[in-house]
Amino acid sequence: MSALPGGQPVPVFNCVVHIAPPAADGTIVACVANLAGIECRGRSEREALVQVVAAFKAAVGRYHAAGEPIPWLSESTSLAPGETERLIAVHL
């Protein structure tokens, strides 16, 4: 956990993202592998990652703000053929 200038802690969470190869129309799909139900599409990998990280941050932020446990997946899904994995640190 990091801290703001006043010493207030800033929570940091690991977002594991699987990126599928481009579809026939060029669309890229990014799916969070360690938290169910978060999948986004973009015209580029960067666009898909920006969207999936924003969705991850919003979901984790809701759980954190409510004081509820985050329902992490105990085992992240395996990479499908052609997929790549990105590990992204997300600050709330």
The whole-number pLDDT of residue 17 equals: 97
Residues 33-91: pLDDT tens digits? Answer: 999 999 999 999 999 999 999 999 999 999 999 999 999 998 767 899 999 999 999 99
pLDDT band at 9 (very low <50, low <70, confident <90, very high): confident
Q: Looking at residue 8, what is its pLDDT?
A: 75
Given the candidates 3.40.50.720, 3.30.160.250, 2.10.260.10, 3.30.70.270, the CATH classification of the domain at 11-91 is 3.30.160.250
Mean of the pLDDT values across residues 18-34? 97
The 3-state secondary structure of the chain reads: CEECCCCCEECEEEEEEEECCCCCCCCEEEEECCECCCEEEECCHHHHHHHHHHHHHHHHHHHHHHCCCCCECCCCCCCCCCCEEEEEEEEC
Q: 0.75 exceeded by the pTM?
A: yes
